Amino acid sequence: MVLCNQAHVAPHGKEREIVAGFLTVPSEHANRYGRCDLLNLTGPQVKKIAFKPKNPDASRVTYGCGTTLTYAQIAQVIPCFTPGTRIATPKGEKLVENLKIGDRVVTRDNGIRHITWAGQKTMQMQDLQISATMRPVLIRAGALGQGLPERDMIVSPNHRVLVVSDMAKRHFAESEVLIAAKHLTQMKGITPIDLPKATYIHFMCETHEIVLSDGAWTESFQPGDDTLQGIDADQREELFLLFPELATKEGLRRYRAARKTLQQTEAGLITATG
């Protein structure tokens, strides 16, 4: 995963251009970095940025509180639900925090599938406030259209939501795409929020699935290089013991994304038009 800002690609000494709080990547350098996401590294909480041109993910950001994180760590708030989210199962909706290995869930593509692994991670207020990219996102009831979700739901910023749109079909040749909650905040009723702490809950199926959560289609946990680094070490060890294939590139290919995932600038083409 390459995390880009203009400091990576601008000529030496050129002042960084800031648009809507994000550092931009000049279009002439798009081929160099490919599809990439943008990190918000602006604001008074950022004290120092130590950029490493040969390994951008290892670049380090020092915050005013003294905490130092790499670019990769900032982006590793894994896709998760929070307690209270109701997941559709063959026996009706169940609270996500009560789901366990072996339980069955309703999926959009493959009918009823079993949960093969589940885990959770609690982040305290000081962790959530380090960077805007770590704050949970509130999706108000009805904010996704057609009365969905059926009730307010809170997810991690990287949790991806299924969006069905004619605009997606026009721009990306696919009417169904996945967009991270943090990239939907231009839409009314979807906003980052401050909480004293957040417990992020994730569950995995035999493949990456689209599941019904509070009546809306969102993703199950997708193991990958970024998400595996984002979970606690003991959970990662447990996953590798249960699924040793996840330690290999070939094993991870089994869990390819259920839909095309849009990055921030791509998502803007959809959310800006409603």
Per-residue pLDDT of the chain (274 residues; tens, 9 = 90+): 333 333 333 333 333 332 233 333 333 343 444 444 455 555 545 667 777 777 665 676 675 555 565 555 454 446 689 999 999 999 999 999 999 999 999 999 999 999 999 988 888 887 777 666 678 999 999 999 999 999 999 998 889 999 999 999 999 999 999 999 999 999 999 999 999 999 989 899 999 999 999 999 999 998 876 666 666 677 777 777 877 888 888 888 889 999 999 988 999 998 875 4
pLDDT of residue 231: 64
Query: Tokens 């207020």 sit at which residue?
Result: 125
* 183 DSSP 8-state letter: G
Nearest residue to 37 via CA among 46, 29, 25? 25
For residue 166, give both structure tokens: 């004619």
- CA 210 from chain centre, in angstroms, equals 14
b/e 82-106 (16+ beta carbons within 10 angstroms → b): beebbbbbeeebbebbebeeebebb
pLDDT of residue 6: 32
For residue 195, give both structure tokens: 């909480």
pLDDT of residue 145: 94
Give the residue extent of every domain in the chain: 15-20+34-75, 86-272
pTM of the model: 0.71
